[in-house]
Amino acid sequence: MATIAWIGLGNMGGPMSGNLAAAGHEVRGVDVVPAARAAAAERGVLVVDSIADAVAGADAVFTSLPRSEHVRQVLEGPDGVWANAPRSALLLDTSTVDVATSRYCHEASVDHGFRFVDAPVSGGIAGAAAGTLTFMLGGEEADVREATALVEPMAGHVFAVGGPTMGIAAKLANNLMLFVSLVGLSEGSQLAAELGLDAETFWKVASVSSGDSWPLRMWYPVPGVVPTSPANRNFDASFTTLLAEKDLSFALAAGEEAGLHLPGARLALDQFEQLIDEGYGGKDCSLIVKYASADGTVEGFDASV
């Protein structure tokens, strides 16, 4: 069993680190949010006060953080990972960051004498809790093999997708597809309702037909159809609009640098930005369904709550 440091014990990092602890690893975690610290402790993580305490003697160091700048911050400086972890530790970042940050993490980690694997995940909060996430690993071949063994207690699928930054490339392309699909789901669900179709009946048809998609199966934006839908909970977030906007903006930036034309992704990003402007950044990204409705209201959402 390994000694593992985990930095970032939020909605994803908390249950992920807990699954490693349940598998028998010694997991030392750190987070600035008291509630996240308490929840991780209940999952068997030894919560410590600093990055230095977490990484001391660690075999591996995982980061699971909201934004690119947070990943850079925990690696850099006298209190960071590079200054305090043993050089033998494998560094793995499960965050969704921009390609430039991932490249920086790889190159600067090597400059500091470390090995680094970009290890973003797909599957959301439910997958993190269930240990069924999809991992996309990018890095040197030997490092990716080591990372594969480490992430197995958290994973349903593990893919070695190539060299440095290829993990985050796979994640950004995947999430672009997710969010463009979500726009189609939003429009199709509203059309079905306006034409008089029963929501559950139509969902059953679409789920075995050409309209099937992951967001249809997990986030159908009508209450009472699928148990995992945020529509059952006034669109409280399983994947916040703020995070969706971040991920999609990273994907579009990468596409623009490559000279691609991505109008579907641009439309989805515009809708996420509109939700944020209306004060709904903390709500689930599937609330974009309201832009497909006739009057901006949708079943299952009460803006006053």
| Catalytic residue numbers, as ranges | 171
Amino acid at 87: R
Q: Which of 266, 287, 267 is nearest to 278 (CA)?
A: 287
Question: Hey, how many other C-beta atoms are within 10 angstroms of the C-beta on 125?
Answer: 16
- The Cα–Cα gap between 147 and 138 comes to 10
Q: Which of 174, 195, 156 is nearest to 250 (CA)?
A: 174
Q: Is 131 left (phi over 0), alpha (psi -120 to 50) or beta?
A: left
Question: Hey, how many other C-beta atoms are within 10 angstroms of the C-beta on 209?
Answer: 8
Q: Which residues pair with 62 in a beta bridge?
A: 6, 92
Q: Which residues pair with 118 in a beta bridge?
A: 93, 138
Amino acid at 110: V
- The Cα–Cα gap between 303 and 60 comes to 44
- The Cα–Cα gap between 262 and 172 comes to 13
Q: Which of 82, 70, 59, 52 is nearest to 10 (CA)?
A: 70
Six-digit token pair at 118?
A: 């970009």
Q: Where are the beta strands (DSSP E) in the chain?
A: 3-7, 26-30, 46-47, 60-63, 90-93, 115-118, 121-122, 133-138, 155-162
Counting Cα atoms < 13 Å in the Cβ hemisphere of 128 gives 22
* Whole-number Cα distances in Å, 234 to 3, 93, 231, 283, 296: 40, 32, 5, 9, 15
